[in-house]
Structure 1
Amino acid sequence: MPQPTSFATNPPTVAVIGLEPARRRLRRPATGFDANHYVGGLWKYTTSDHTSVMQSTVVDISKERGCFTDFPFGEGVRTHPAAEEVWEYLEAYKRAFGLGPRCRLGCRVRGISWRGGKWVVDNDAEGGRREEFFDKVVMATGINSQPNVLDIEGVERFEGVCLHSRGFKRPKDFDGKRVMIVGLGNTAADTATQLVGHASRIWISNRHRSHIIPRTFKGQSIDHGLTHRVGIFNYLFWYYAPSIAEKIDNYFITKLQTESFDIQPERNISPPPGGKAHMLIISDNLVDSLQGGDVESVAGIKKFASAKTVELLDGTQIGVDVVIWCTGYKSDFSLLDPKFDPTKHSNLDWHNISGAKDKPSSRLYQNIFSLEKPDSLAFVGTRVFPAPAFQTFDLASMALAQIWKGNAQLPPYAEMERWADNHLAWVCNLAKSGGVFPNAIDGGPWQKWVNDAAGTGVNEKLGYGLEGWRCWWRDRKLCKLLMDGTYSPHMFRLFEGRRKEWKGAMEAIEKANEVVRTGIRQRTRKVTE
């Protein structure tokens, strides 16, 4: 693997397929390819057959926590940004760091292969189709590219409309229709509530229940109360006493749901079975729509009984005009030579588990590094756990850059294989208790590893080891702010380390915390008045 000096004097060329934040961290040798004519991917609303947000989409996480580590959202952006604001933020990010000249927009990659010690990227450039050679490749196409549609008995006899949620763009297109939404997640909740006032009947067909929580609680974004100290203790509980950790998490989530909503048991939508496999639904409107009768929760689909009728698992038959599959996506790395595709591994345990839902899982080290060519092939955006996406993209990209520079090291190959096998066994175990994202990852250990690899200094200076106590002794006010204040992504760029620190990190952290404190003061004043 190249040493830091050789990287600096003769940097390797890197192709980034899909414009994830890896492009920024890998610096000038990196060239980004994207078939779209814009950056932002799914955050750019489009009526074409591409994965995209709806016009009405609002982010579940606050802007104070949902930004990149060195680039806050602008002053005028609301606490929970709308989709258009996120896309504008990504455009501003591109301009601020001068990424435009290295972004090949509207350039479709046809295939990626290994030849003569180089990666060959076959693409449709402006001058026509051509092959380009790179030392390294980062697959940043994400996990939302290939729609996942269930294979339900009798679908061929259905004469209504069947479409994946990717094709749901305009609610008015379903005026007067009887619509059944299949699946129970954030996309299903958004789709159902958007159809209210348009569709004549709306059902959510689901096999697994879920907790539902709002974006805000008592006037405060629910993620503003999360702190670094809470995260440390949560990780320790899950590591040393997982059964107790599960009970604690379920207690607080159930308490938040109960104090926010009055979910009647007959709605058949909550609570879910316990465990970390089940993602939360974050929705401000779904419960009201259910309680008001605008949306009805029903059992899972068993089969299509006739041209316009579906039969549920409980035997109920319902007449419908439209079925919308809110059943997620499959990872698709078909651009790669199959021998380098991490989803092509054979694991009978995974494929035979109903909770896998026919979605392929990726066999990678830390859900980032190829086991076939870890020194030159990596994947960004292939891990799922409850954490801000832009922050985790940033950390993964920092770790990747530092390892490929030679500033941090990968373990021996046998250890990487063992990690991947153990991780797949962990995911299989989660899938046995219900639905699970095949790219799910245990967030606590992963965050520890990625911070160590990236060299952020957060593990040492904000931990309970000797260096952590030294940091506390030198500046107790700073440590308290970082440990007990709003869990700001900017702390990962505060300390001097392997990666470049951001001089504006401290100011951004203080500003984010002041926003939160101001909101608390305003709410307190209203209560006392």
Structure 2
Amino acid sequence: MPAEHIRVAVVGLGVAGLAATKNLLEAGLQVTAFERNEYVGGLWKFNDSPDQLSVLKSTHPNGSKHFLAYSDFPLPADTPTYPSASVIHEWLNDYAKYFDLADHFRLGTTISRIDQVDHKFELHWSKGTEEHRERFDRVLITTGPFQRPRWPSIDGLDSSHPKVLHGHAYKTPEPFRGKSVVVLGSGNSACDICTELIGVAGKVYVSVRSGNRIFKVTEPPIDRIFTRRLFYKGGSVENTEYESQARATAAAGMDAAFKKHWPDYDLESLRMLPAPSNVHSIPGLNPHFIPALASGEITPIAGVKSIVPGKIITAEDVEISCDYVICATGGTFDYSILSPSIDPTNSKTSAWDECPRAEGLKIPRLYQGIFHPDVPGLAFIGPYESPSLANPADYDLMSSAIAQIWAENHSLPSKDDMAAWCDKCYEYQLKLVAEHKLPRPRLWKSELERWLNNAAGNGMNEAFANPDSALHQTDPELWDLCMDGVPNPYVYRLLPGREGARKAWPGARDAIFWANGQGTPPVI
């Protein structure tokens, strides 16, 4: 079927959905994008509803401005190195305006169910009191990786109790004024909540079951170390007998960097170390959290073993009286709008389900973490970890690959080959969770990026995986910056790539030099 006749529904208009809408349109497909809110940008706009995940007013992203950009749309030149959530949200709106996407949006629409009917997908959606059913040839779900609250397994935990809430429901510190609060978790959300509660709550505890590396804002940014050369080096041991050893070595390196960041503090006594490997934990960025632990403004305690009325009992059998418990324990992808026949988590995963460390996380059967192998035309962005920590760039690349496949410029493997890949992926998740709890399912990152580059047709594999490439020979300065310079996504739009592939961006070369402190910002 010609691309212009293929109707695609994109569900969700956050970072992934916006990039997907633009890239699918760029490939010539018909696109309708659904969003439950009356705005785009997803969680990057503060929303005071306790039922909806959003940033807090104090939230800053983990990455710096070049690390977080789309491949053909940098943040404005005057953006601080670490922009605020409101700046990110404004930039996402600018992206939608610049690429003229609004005519394809249906804002304020709620999708209650997606069925497969006669080889098409039927969406049940409503706006106000109006209810509709509409059929599409393809569906891409981009509703975010953490939409459904993930509750810890703790004796006596009652999620319906008014004094027990999930981190998703926390919006401001004011309801906790003068109260004693225990926050469970040591990730970004837990750090943000704890630091917001300082000076408002009567007492703030943070329950740390396993440590985490929380860095401070630095110049140059901490993400400067994640070069393409380092990415390739790490990829060389993925899915080999040396992978576990490499993870341990990487964790030791992260620990050393963490200690160097905070030389005046005993991170072990603050319960931040030891920490799991970077496979099993996501490093955070918060300049206030570690000093507040050291000063006593936040009191670190062991993991919570049980909860009884008015108190918690730690794994060290210490009883602590508290008024509120906030479970800042993350979230999972929400598959609830899918009918059972097309839900990728409905396959048998008994070995996973029996693992105590699973803690509500589901393992969807998705080829490359994206495509349903048994339901052609159904794809997802978000259930699995993406190639890097830079979600806008990763989601941009993923949706470019999806667009090329649905426009029939690139093909998926056979159903049997995809099934075999999914089996291997499932065994990998079992191996990882045997070591420690996973924030979300994980893939072999370098292998995934190579596959996405090939599907998108962007020429990356040919240009950078081979030191004898034409680009290295003709433009060694640019090649060196791409391999060892400031990590940025503009490289994905640098080369013309395969005929009919995703569009290159004429400003990419200038943007790469600009990100490395050379030249002027590219013209948008």
Shorter-chain TM-score: which interval? Answer: over 0.9
User: Alpha carbons of 1:492 and 1:45: their partners in 2 closer, same or farther (altered >3 Å)?
Assistant: same
1:207 match? 209
Q: Deviations over 1:379-437 (max 9, x none)?
A: 11222254200011001101101111121111111111111121121112111111102
Contact 2:374 2:415 in 1 (8 A): no
Separation (CA, whole Å) in 1 of partners of 2:159 and 2:147: 28
Give the one of 288, 291, 294 matched to 1:288: 291
The equivalences for 1:513-528 within 5 A come to 513-514=516-517
Contact 2:163 2:324 in 1 (8 A): yes
Question: How many Å separate the matches in 2 of 1:276 and 1:194?
Answer: 28
Alpha-carbon displacement from aligned partner over 1:96-115 (angstroms, at most 9, x marks no partner)? 01111111000111211111
The CA deviation at 1:299 is: 1.6
Q: Which amino acid aligns with 1:23?
A: T
1:155, distance to aligned residue in structure 2 (A): 3.7
Aligned to 2:452: 450
What is the RMSD of the two structures over their aligned residues, measured on CA atoms?
2.1
Q: 1:243 to 1:350 in 2, by over 3 A?
A: closer
How far off its partner does 1:517 sit? 12
Aligned with residue 392 of structure 1, among 391, 394, 404: 394
* Equivalent pair of 2:116/2:342 in contact (CA under 8 Å): no
Superposed displacement of residue 149, structure 1: 2.1
Residue 268 (structure 2) aligned to one of 254, 265, 268: 265
Bigger shift: 48-57 or 226-235? 226-235
Q: Which amino acid aligns with 1:458?
A: M
Inter-partner Cα distance in structure 2 for 1:273 and 1:493: 35
**In structure 2, what residue type is equivalent to 1:24?**
K
Which residue matches 2:90? 88
Q: C-alpha distance in 2, partners of 1:157/1:455?
A: 47
Change (3 A) 1:264 1:465: closer
Match in the other structure for 1:14: 8
- Are the aligned partners of 1:427 and 1:438 in contact in 2 as well (CA < 8 Å)? no
Letter of the 1:284 counterpart: P
Gaps of 5+ in 2: none
Task: Name the residue aligned to 1:278.
Answer: 281
Residue aligned with 1:91, SS: helix
The alignment of Structure 1 onto Structure 2 pairs a total of residues equal to 506
Aligned match for 1:321, one of 315, 323, 333: 323
**Whole-angstrom CA distance in 2 between matches of 1:397 and 1:140:** 10
Give the structure-2-normalised TM-score: 0.92
Residue 482 of structure 2 corresponds to 482
Q: What's 1:472 paired with?
A: 472
User: Contact 1:237–1:244 at 8 Å: present in 2 too?
Assistant: no
1:515/1:343 CA distance change after superposition, 3 Å: farther
Moved over 4 A (4+): 156-160, 515-518
- Following superposition, the deviation at residue 243 of structure 1 comes to 4.1
Please give the alpha-carbon distance, in whole angstroms, between the structure 1 residues aligned to 2:480 and 2:225.
Answer: 14
State the alpha-carbon separation in 1 of the partners of residues 206 and 351 from structure 2.
30
Q: Does 1:161 align with 2:159?
A: no
CA distance in 2: counterparts of 1:390 and 1:275, whole angstroms: 20
Contact 1:158 1:304 in 2 (8 A): no
Structure 2 distance, partners of 1:515, 1:226, is 19
* Preserved CA contact (<8 Å) 2:250 2:277: no
Question: 1:269 Cα shift?
Answer: 2.4
Residue 33 of structure 1, CA deviation? 0.4
Unaligned runs of 5+ in 1: 519-529
| 2:34 matched residue in structure 1 | 33
Aligned 8 A contact 1:263 1:287 in 2:
no
Choose 330-339 or 319-328, whichever is displaced more. Answer: 330-339
Tell me the percent identity.
30
Question: Are 2:301 and 1:308 aligned?
Answer: no
Q: Secondary structure of 2:357's partner?
A: helix
Larger displacement relative to structure 2 (29-38 or 421-430): 421-430
The 3-state SS of whatever aligns with 2:516 is: helix
Which residue does the alignment assign to 1:112?
114
- Give 1:255 deviation, angstroms: 1.6
Equivalents in 2 of 1:126, 1:175: separation in Å? Answer: 37
Mean CA deviation greater in 229-238 or 404-413: 229-238
Higher helix share: 1
The TM-score normalised by the length of structure 1 is 0.91
| Cα distance in 2 for residues equivalent to 1:153 and 1:245 | 36
Deviation sequence 1:310-329 (CA, Å, 0-9, x none): 11121111100010011111
- In the aligned structure 1, how far is the partner of 2:349 from the partner of 2:161? 37
Write the letter of the residue equivalent to 1:142. G
Contact 2:181 2:325 in 1 (8 A): yes
Separation (CA, whole Å) in 2 of partners of 1:291 and 1:516: 42
Deviations 1:318-346 (A, max 9, x none): 10001001111122111111111112222
Letter in 2 for 1:194: E
Aligned with 1:314: secondary structure?
A: coil
- Mapped partners of 1:419, 1:378: distance in 2: 16
What amino acid is aligned across from residue 321 of structure 2 in structure 1? G
Does the 8 Å contact 2:510/2:520 carry over to 1? no
For 1:404 and 1:158, how far apart are their aligned partners in 2? 43
In 1, the alpha carbon distance for the partners of 2:216 and 2:431 equals 29
Residue in 2 that maps onto 1:462: 464
Q: Which residue of 2 aligns with 1:24?
A: 22
How far apart are 1:277 and its partner, in Å?
A: 2.1
Whether contact under 8 Å (1:32, 1:104) holds in the other structure is: yes
Q: Deviations over 1:59-117 (max 9, x none)?
A: 11001110111100012221111000011011001100111111100011121111122
Match of 2:79 in 1: 77
Alpha-carbon spacing, 1:137–1:275, altered in 2? closer, same or farther (3 Å): closer
101-110 vs 150-159, greater mean Cα deviation: 150-159
Q: Secondary structure at the match of 1:265?
A: coil
In 2, the alpha carbon distance for the partners of 1:156 and 1:144 equals 20
- The SS at the match of 1:349 is helix
Structure 2 equivalent of residue 297 of structure 1: 300
* One-letter amino acid matched to 1:346: K
Q: How does 1:372-391 map to 2 (within 5 A)?
A: 372-374=374-376, 376-385=377-386, 386-391=388-393
